[in-house]
Amino acid sequence: MNTIDEYIADQREEIRPALIKIRETIREAAPDATEKIAWRMPTFWQEKNIIHFAAFKKHIGIYPGDLSFIPFQDRLEEYHTTKGAIQFPLDKPIDYKLIADITRWRLSHVTENGKG
């Protein structure tokens, strides 16, 4: 796979609408970011990797990098998280606003602070 379109087309039909909506959500939050595939995942890049997402059997993973200092801890309590990932279960509504907020936070962190 070389593009996000190819990645989404290769996923199960029932998960494609959520992936399309996540892509649109990230695109709106980071309009100048470049889309690419990195580590076999759809990736948005602007100076550095901003955020990745990927489909799995029971969830969609969002990968914004180190979550230890992210200001949305209270909004993440209902999700399984690891140091750099958030799992949005497919059997519950996806919080697209949270994804947009994390994307905007990540973008400002990368471009303003030079961190990543």
Residues sharing a CB contact under 8 Å with residue 29, sequence separation 6 or more, in sequence order: 99, 100, 101, 103, 104, 107
13-48: per-residue pLDDT in tens?
999 999 999 999 999 999 999 999 999 999 999 989
23 inside domain: yes
29 inside domain: yes
Which of the 8 DSSP states describes residue 68? T
63-115: per-residue pLDDT in tens?
998 876 678 889 999 999 998 999 999 999 999 999 999 999 999 888 765 55
116 inside domain: no
The total number of structural domains in the chain stands at: 1
Range of the domain at 43: 4-110
